[in-house]
C-alpha cells in the first residue's frame, strides 16, 4: 500500500541531515542523504520542501567533493530562487542567500559572495542555531580574507572559533585557525602563522583532508619566508603521501612545488610539476591557479614580459590584489637577478599599485 509522507516529516529529516553536514559527520550525512531521497519519492507535494532539499544537497555535495559544478549549481539556484521569491519563510530565504554566496565563493567571485552573505546576515536572527551561525561566520570570514579585508575577516573568524570550540567541532575550529594563519602569513608574520598551523596539526586526525590543507599552508608560509627547501618538502609530502589526486588541492600542491623548485634553480623538475599543475587546474576550471601557472611558465620558461603583464592584468580584474602584489615582487626579483633592472622596476610598480588597492576599505571598492 502506497503511503504519502507529510512534508513536515521530510523537513525534520532534512534538518537532521543539515546538522550532520555542518558538523562534518560525513558517514551519517551519506546515510541520511540516501534515506531522504527515498522519502522524497513518497512526499506530499511541497515546492518549499524541495527547495530546502536542493539547497542542503548543494552543501552536502560541497562537503563530500570539496567542490561543485558551476553550471549545475547555477541552474539549481535559479530554479530554487523562484520558490524562494514567493515564500515568506525566513529560514528558506537565509539558506538561499547563504548557499548562493557559497556558490559564488567556490567559483572565485568573492565580492559577489560577500554581497550575498550580507543579505544572509540580515536574516541570521531567524536561524536560532549556534552551529549554523558559526558556519556563517566562517564563510564570511574566509570570503573577506579573499578580498583582503583582513581586519573584518579576523573578527568573523574569531567569533566562529569561539562557537565551534563551544560546540565541540574541532575540525571546523581548525579550518578557522588555518585562515587566521594565512592572514598572519600574508602580513609577513611568518612565525605566528607557523605556530598556529603547527598547533592545529596536533588537533587533527592523520591522513585527513584537513591535515593536507595545513601541510600545504606550512609550505606556502615557508615559501613566503624564502625557505624554499622546506616549501619543497611540505608540497612533496602532500603529493607522495596523500590520496587526493582528484582534488584541486593536489593541483595547488604541484603548482607550489614547481614554484619553489624554480626558486632553487631546479628547472627540469620544476617544469614537469608545472605542466601537471596547469593541466589539473584547467580540468578544475580554477582561473586563479591557471593564471598562476601561466605566470611561472612566462617567467621561467618563456621569459616573456608582455605575457607577464597580460596575466597580472587578468589577476587584477579578478580583484586578486594580494596575489598580484606577491607575484609581481617575485617577477621583479627574477628579472633583477638577471640584470634587467628596467623590467624589474616596472613589476615593482605593479606590486605597489596592487598593495595600494589592498589598503582600500569597503567590500564594494573597485
Q: What are the pLDDT digits (tens) for 189-210?
A: 999 999 999 999 988 887 777 8
Helices marked H in the chain — which ranges? Answer: 7-22, 26-40, 47-65, 70-86, 90-106, 110-121, 130-146, 150-167, 170-186, 190-201, 209-224, 228-241, 248-263, 267-283, 287-296, 305-317, 321-337, 341-358
Closest by alpha carbon to 289, among 335, 251, 258?
Answer: 251
Residue 110 domain flag:
no
- Please compute, for residue 182, the number of CA atoms within 13 A of its CA located in the half-sphere on the CB side: 26
Model pLDDT for residues 26-39, shown as the tens digit of each residue: 889 999 999 999 89
Closest by alpha carbon to 108, among 320, 363, 321, 310?
Answer: 320
Closest by alpha carbon to 48, among 15, 6, 80?
Answer: 80
Q: Cα 107 vs. chain centroid, distance in angstroms?
A: 9
pLDDT surpassing 50 at residue 112: yes
The C-alpha atoms of residue 84 and residue 98 are separated, in whole angstroms, by 13
Residue 247, φ and ψ in degrees, nearest 5: -110, 160
> What sign for the dihedral angle of Cα 168, 173, 174, 177?
negative
Residue 55 domain flag:
yes
The C-alpha atoms of residue 93 and residue 86 are separated, in whole angstroms, by 10
Question: By the 8 A CB rule, do 252 and 289 touch?
Answer: yes
Closest by alpha carbon to 352, among 328, 330, 334, 336?
Answer: 328
**Joined grid coordinates for residue 49:** 520542501
The C-alpha atoms of residue 305 and residue 298 are separated, in whole angstroms, by 8
- What CATH number is associated with residue 89? 1.25.40.10
pLDDT surpassing 80 at residue 107: yes
The C-alpha atoms of residue 135 and residue 140 are separated, in whole angstroms, by 9
Closest by alpha carbon to 247, among 277, 219, 273?
Answer: 277
> What sign for the dihedral angle of Cα 307, 313, 318, 324?
positive
Residue 115 domain flag:
no
Residue 314, φ and ψ in degrees, nearest 5: -65, -40
pLDDT band at 68 (very low <50, low <70, confident <90, very high): confident
With H, G, I as helix, E, B as strand and everything else as coil, classify residue 366. Answer: coil
**Joined grid coordinates for residue 315:** 589577476
Averaged pLDDT score across all residues of the chain? 89
Residue 91 domain flag:
yes
The C-alpha atoms of residue 324 and residue 322 are separated, in whole angstroms, by 5
The neighbour count for residue 82, using CB atoms within 10 Å, is: 11
Model pLDDT for residues 81-97, shown as the tens digit of each residue: 999 999 998 989 999 99
Residue 83 domain flag:
yes
The C-alpha atoms of residue 29 and residue 60 are separated, in whole angstroms, by 8
The C-alpha atoms of residue 259 and residue 224 are separated, in whole angstroms, by 11
Residue 273 domain flag:
no
Q: Which domain covers residue 23, as residue numbers?
A: 1-102
Task: Quote the percentage of the chain above a pLDDT of 90.
Answer: 63
pLDDT top residue among 125 and 65: 125
**Joined grid coordinates for residue 250:** 593536489
Number of domains in the chain: 1
Model pLDDT for residues 115-162, shown as the tens digit of each residue: 999 999 999 988 888 988 999 999 999 999 988 888 899 999 999 999
pTM of the full structure: 0.79
Q: Give the model's pLDDT for residue 197.
A: 95
Residue 92 domain flag:
yes
Residue 15 domain flag:
yes
Angle value at C-alpha 43, between 38 and 47, nearest 5 degrees: 115
Amino acid at each position: 500500500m502506497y503511503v504519502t509522507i507529510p512534508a513536515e516529516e521530510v523537513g525534520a529529516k532534512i534538518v537532521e541531515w543539515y546538522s550532520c553536514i555542518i558538523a562534518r559527520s560525513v558517514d551519517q550525512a551519506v546515510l541520511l542523504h540516501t534515506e531522504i531521497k527515498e522519502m522524497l519519492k513518497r512526499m506530499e507535494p511541497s515546492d518549499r520542501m524541495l527547495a530546502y532539499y536542493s539547497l542542503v544537497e548543494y552543501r552536502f555535495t560541497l562537503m563530500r567533493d570539496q567542490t561543485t559544478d558551476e553550471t549545475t549549481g547555477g541552474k539549481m539556484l535559479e530554479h530554487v530562487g523562484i520558490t524562494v521569491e514567493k515564500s515568506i519563510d525566513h529560514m528558506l530565504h537565509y539558506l538561499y542567500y547563504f548557499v548562493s554566496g557559497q556558490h559564488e565563493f567556490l567559483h572565485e567571485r568573492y565580492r559577489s559572495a560577500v554581497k550575498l552573505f550580507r543579505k544572509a546576515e540580515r536574516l541570521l536572527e531567524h536561524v536560532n542555531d549556534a552551529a549554523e551561525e558559526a558556519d556563517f561566520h566562517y564563510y564570511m570570514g574566509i570570503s573577506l580574507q579573499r578580498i583582503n579585508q583582513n581586519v573584518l575577516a579576523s573578527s568573523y573568524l574569531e567569533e566562529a572559533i569561539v562557537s565551534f570550540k563551544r560546540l565541540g567541532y574541532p575540525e571546523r575550529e581548525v579550518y578557522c585557525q588555518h585562515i587566521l594563519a594565512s592572514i598572519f602569513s600574508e602580513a609577513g608574520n611568518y612565525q605566528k602563522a607557523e605556530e598556529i598551523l603547527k598547533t592545529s596539526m596536533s588537533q587533527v586526525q592523520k591522513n585527513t583532508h584537513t591535515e593536507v590543507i595545513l601541510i600545504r599552508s606550512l609550505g606556502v608560509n615557508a615559501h613566503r619566508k624564502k625557505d624554499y627547501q622546506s616549501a619543497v618538502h611540505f608540497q612533496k609530502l602532500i603529493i607522495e603521501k596523500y590520496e587526493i589526486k582528484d582534488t584541486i588541492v593536489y593541483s595547488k600542491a604541484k603548482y607550489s612545488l614547481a614554484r619553489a623548485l624554480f626558486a632553487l634553480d631546479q628547472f627540469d623538475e620544476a617544469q614537469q610539476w608545472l605542466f601537471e599543475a596547469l593541466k589539473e587546474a584547467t580540468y578544475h576550471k580554477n582561473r586563479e591557479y591557471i593564471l598562476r601557472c601561466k605566470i611561472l611558465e612566462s617567467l621561467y620558461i618563456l621569459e616573456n614580459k608582455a605575457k607577464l603583464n597580460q596575466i597580472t592584468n587578468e589577476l587584477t580584474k579578478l580583484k586578486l590584489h594580494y596575489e598580484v602584489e606577491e607575484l609581481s615582487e617575485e617577477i621583479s626579483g627574477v628579472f633583477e637577478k638577471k640584470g634587467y633592472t628596467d623590467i624589474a622596476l616596472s613589476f615593482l610598480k605593479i606590486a605597489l599599485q596592487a598593495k595600494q588597492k589592498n589598503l582600500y576599505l569597503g567590500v564594494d571598492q573597485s
